[in-house]
Amino acid sequence: MTIIIKNKDTLIFDEFIFRCCVGKMGFSKNKIEGDKKTPIGQFKLENLYFRKDRKRMPTTKLNTIEIKKNMGWCDDVNEKKNYNKLININSKFKCEKLFRSDYKYDYFIPIKYNWINTKVGKGSAIFIHLTKNFKPTAGCIGLLEKDFLILAKLIKKNTEIKILYAL
């Protein structure tokens, strides 16, 4: 089964249709770091990360990883080796902090965009994460927590996400 992002506010999986939000600047086949666009294409999913201090481990067939205070996702365009990878925030690289004060990363699943043969500057830290208000993201896909948990329960390790929409 494949998760489908049909347009800027619709995620479909099996017979489920969820409201979602995407990048503030829409979609792109040629994503660039910081452009606030959601990449178009078909991608695998990574593990499910969660804040154990705030949330229960969700029911899912994905591997689950507890988010620790020192975890970050490298978005440093000057760092070829660690770009678009999980890193320790105590490193000297610029990164997206995963242990946030807000709720958005209480649960999230990285989308394996720009994952293999990673190209620095082509976009990093593209996640399915939480939203409460459906405001546009910096390029990720946002879901309400209740919908995220339904999706997490349904998907498998081989589930892919297909982002179709283009303006």
Number of domains composing the chain: 1
Specify the DSSP class assigned to residue 106: S
Q: Bridge-partner residues for 7, per DSSP?
A: 10
Whole-number pLDDT of residue 165:
66
Beta strands 48-50 and 160-163: pairing type?
A: unpaired
- Please state the φ and ψ torsions of residue 8, each to the nearest 5 degrees: -70, -10
Give me the mean pLDDT over the 84-90 stretch: 93
Whole-number pLDDT of residue 91:
74
**Domain extent at residue 63:** 2-163
**3-state class of 153 per DSSP?**
helix
* pLDDT reading at 167 higher than 80: no
Vertex 49: Cα angle to 63 and 142 (nearest 5) = 120
Domain of residue 116, CATH code: 2.40.440
| pTM, rounded to two decimals | 0.95
Whole-number pLDDT of residue 111:
98
